[in-house]
């Protein structure tokens, strides 16, 4: 029975893989609207590489024993991890991976925490740097001061500095794109906190230059109003936090009163999203309304602009040579989802999964 299930699952993956290959052929010719996959899944987007789904399933089946189970069918997580493996296999076999970008919270470290020296992801990232891969942190955290990013990422930054001192790496490229797509900092061994601020005008995409400051502030005014209305209607203990390129709500701790629950956060995101989508500024300036796990923020731009800006700043890296790793691809306000417009992606569910993903990436590179 196990052999039969393995064969049937592999055949299904093979068929889906062929549908994707057909879509990519149409995509290359500019006729993706006519592909079989587009007819079956009208919302399907761009594929930057083929996906080796059949081989990836066999790889994951060997580890997760999917076809050995009698009563539990292939799960969402089985499929998610199989897709990750398929993407890693394709990337490693079609030339070097030039850039890997990461989300912060829940991807590199637990929600609200920081990247400390003992974090097991650090030696894996250092290995990527030694192999010539550039590293980007594309995060919703929006700071204008390098010291604040150092506080969140000091374990990695200290490790990179030490690797330079030990001559393990010569000129590593590590950049941070904060506020989704608003603040760029670059690793600098001689700078305070090992980070230097890069002026926006030197890395902005052409489209971003067309965003008018008046429209940006009008959009943030509308977002702030929507957030205040949600806080009032749901009687939340919350504080409004306004920045130059973002506005959001954070909890105000009150003894005996719980923090926000997931349903409240997603309701706030959806209400705010709808109001901004229907507004005039919302049609002129891209934005991202997202659930941060214990807060809700609206940022100017989104992670597609963040990743594209990293690619441009680092010399014009293609989406097929870039991997973005994040945890928010599904629920309302999932801000990693937009990165799919800029490059290949891997969907993880915890920092431990990020470590396992990088181990798998190195395994495919070396085998």
For residue 365, report the phi and psi dihedrals to the nearest 5 degrees.
-65, -35
CA–chain centroid gap for 103, Å, is 5
Residue 30: strand pairing partners: none
- CB count within 10 Å of CB 46 equals 13
Q: Are 217 and 179 in contact (CB under 8 A)?
A: no
Q: Which residues have a catalytic role annotated?
A: 103, 105
175 token code pair? 């950049």
Alpha-helical (H) ranges within the chain are: 2-29, 36-40, 53-64, 76-93, 121-130, 146-165, 206-209, 213-233, 262-277, 280-284, 303-313, 351-366
- Looking up tokens 């940022």 gives 299
DSSP 3-state assignment of 201? helix
Contacts of 291 (CB under 8 A, 6+ apart): 262, 265, 266, 268, 269, 331, 332, 333, 334
How many residues appear in the chain?
367
DSSP 3-state assignment of 13? helix
95 token code pair? 């030339």
What is the DSSP annotation of 45-90? ---SS---HHHHHHHHHHHH-GGG-SSSPPPHHHHHHHHHHHHHHH
Residue 254: strand pairing partners: 257
């Amino acid at each position: 029975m196990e052999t039969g299930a393995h064969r049937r699952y592999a055949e299904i993956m093979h068929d889906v893989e062929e549908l994707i290959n057909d879509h990519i052929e149409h995509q290359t010719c500019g006729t993706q609207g006519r592909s079989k996959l587009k007819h079956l899944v009208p919302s399907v987007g761009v594929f930057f590489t083929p996906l080796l789904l059949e081989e990836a399933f066999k790889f994951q089946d060997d580890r997760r024993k999917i076809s050995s189970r009698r009563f539990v069918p292939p799960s969402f997580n089985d499929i998610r991890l199989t897709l990750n493996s398929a993407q890693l296999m394709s990337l490693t076999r079609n030339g070097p991976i030039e850039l890997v970008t990461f989300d912060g919270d829940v991807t590199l470290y637990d929600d609200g925490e920081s990247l400390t020296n003992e974090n097991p992801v650090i030696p894996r990232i250092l290995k990527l740097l030694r192999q010539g891969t550039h590293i980007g942190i594309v995060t919703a955290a929006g700071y204008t001061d390098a010291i604040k990013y150092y506080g969140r990422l000091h374990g990695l930054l200290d490790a990179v500095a030490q690797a330079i001192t030990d001559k393990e790496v010569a000129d590593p490229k590590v950049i941070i794109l904060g506020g989704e797509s608003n603040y760029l900092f670059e690793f600098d061994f001689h700078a305070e906190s090992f980070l230097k601020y890069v002026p926006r005008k030197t890395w902005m995409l052409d489209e971003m230059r067309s965003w008018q400051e008046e429209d940006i502030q009008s959009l943030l005014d509308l977002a702030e109003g929507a957030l205040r209305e949600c806080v009032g209607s749901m009687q939340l203990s919350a504080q409004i936090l306004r920045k130059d390129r973002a506005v959001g709500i954070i909890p105000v701790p009150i003894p005996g009163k719980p923090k926000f629950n997931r349903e409240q956060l997603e309701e706030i995101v959806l209400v705010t999203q709808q109001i901004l989508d229907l507004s005039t500024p919302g049609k002129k300036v891209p934005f991202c309304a997202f659930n941060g796990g214990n807060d809700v923020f609206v940022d100017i731009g989104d992670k597609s602009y963040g990743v594209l800006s990293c690619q441009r700043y680092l010399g014009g890296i293609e989406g097929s040579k870039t991997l973005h790793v994040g945890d928010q691809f599904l629920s309302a306000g999932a801000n990693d989802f937009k990165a799919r417009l800029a490059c290949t992606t891997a969907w993880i569910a915890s920092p431990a999964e990020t470590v396992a993903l990088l181990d798998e990436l190195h395994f495919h590179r070396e085998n």
